[in-house]
Amino acid sequence: MAATGSFVPDAEVGVPESPPQTRICIVATLDSTVSPVTGLFEALRSVERLTAPQDRLAGERRPFDVEIVAESADTIESASGLVITPHRAVDEVTQADVVIVPSMEFGREEEWTPGRYPKLVRWLREAYDGGATICSACTGANLTAETGLLDGNEATVHWVSENSFRRRHPDVLLRPDEVLVISGEGGRLVTSGAATAWHDLALYLIARHVGPATAQAVARFMLWEWHRDGQAPFQVFDPPTDHGDAAVLAAQRAIAESFAVAAPVEEMVRWSGLAPRTFKRRFTAATSHTPIAYVQRIRIERAKRLLESSDEPIEEISWAVGYEDPASFRRLFKRLTGLAPGAYRQRFQIPVV
């Protein structure tokens, strides 16, 4: 019988043919942060010795061929001042199965500067057109987005970058609460959220290209865990105050101190000096939140701090932040953070030394 595509003939017995290596390029730039670049490199290289028996590849070939690439092969002084030495320039890469753009640091302004890496943008697009899966970790999505590949597709970024990313790329269907988003034709566009969400990205690639048992083995060895609850539990509500509306700003400052009052929206209206309908319209335009949604986020943020730093019963915390009905408080807390108050406390309570 003729050999199938997954077997090669052998003199004594059919031997499974080793699947081809998955060729992974990790992109380094002048804005790169070093730990995701080197961490991804080392984690993906470690798969060879951690491959689970049920996922083990035939032969001696390691599952991943991993290299760090950049616009040139010259040494890069990264954003943190540490040095990255690429293996090759992107011009030398003839084929890649997976390309990863790790997180970047943009300085004090925390704003991505478009057009800094036109050569990389072209190369990423060509790699995708050639069949590669394009991945980004955290703020690396800013570079990926310049290719236009994310337009019309779902993606995630670090929650801190949400507003600026939306302004630059309104056609991307942003899901900032998610840690990992797989989209595009054939799932070939993969984005991960906050800084260490590259762990989730690495585990996903291992599960996809080697097997889930190996991904679990790597997670155990590295002491990693999937961020199954998304980014929402980690997000800190940082209300905008640079909108230039003095009446709205007065209301924001007032409610920051009196958020637990019985009628918080009426309190804000009073401090603003505006008519209620005018206030609601201007407040929503300035902050991107309705007044009641804004108050809810202020209250839940305060509740998070109390859960992290105290052993007060959840009922008392509910009352302290303005909710007489603990059940309503629990539902709102779960909706905004993705976790019940008790689960949030268990995960984030500051340990007593």
Question: 290 Cβ partners below 8 Å, 6+ apart?
Answer: 280, 283, 284
Give the lowest-confidence range in 67-76, 100-109, 287-296. 100-109
Q: Is the pLDDT of residue 58 over 60?
A: no
pLDDT digits (tens, 9 = 90+) for 120-146: 999 999 999 999 999 999 888 999 999
Mean pLDDT within 78-88: 87
Confidence of residue 86 (pLDDT cuts 50, 70, 90): very high
Q: Is 76 exposed, middle or buried (0-12, 13-18, 19+ CB in 10 A)?
A: buried
Which pLDDT belongs to residue 54? Answer: 64
**More confident site: 1 or 100:** 100
CA distance linking residue 247 with residue 312, whole number of Å = 36
28 conformational bin, left if phi > 0, alpha if psi -120 to 50, beta if neither: beta
CA distance linking residue 314 with residue 306, whole number of Å = 9
pLDDT digits (tens, 9 = 90+) for 36-49: 999 999 989 888 88
State how beta strands 98-101 and 76-77 pair. Answer: unpaired
Question: 266 Cβ partners below 8 Å, 6+ apart?
Answer: none
Write down all domains in the chain, each with its CATH number in brackets.
7-234 (3.40.50.880), 246-348 (1.10.10.60)
Question: 334 Cβ partners below 8 Å, 6+ apart?
Answer: 340, 341
Q: Is the pLDDT of residue 4 over 80?
A: no
pLDDT digits (tens, 9 = 90+) for 189-231: 999 887 677 888 888 888 888 887 788 888 888 888 777 666 6
Which pLDDT belongs to residue 163? Answer: 82
Which pLDDT belongs to residue 199? Answer: 87
Which pLDDT belongs to residue 107? Answer: 60
pLDDT digits (tens, 9 = 90+) for 274-328: 999 999 999 999 998 999 999 998 999 889 888 887 889 999 999 999 999 999 9
Question: DSSP string spanning 20-67?
Answer: PPEEEEEE--TTB-HHHHHHHHHHHHTHHHH--GGGPPSSS--SEEEE
Instruction: Single out the residue of 165, 229, 146, 156 nearest to residue 194, CA to CA.
Output: 156
**More confident site: 202 or 55:** 202
CB of 30 closer than 8 Å to CB of 78: yes
Give residue 29's Cα distance to chain centre: 19
CB of 254 closer than 8 Å to CB of 246: no
Q: Is the pLDDT of residue 59 over 50?
A: no
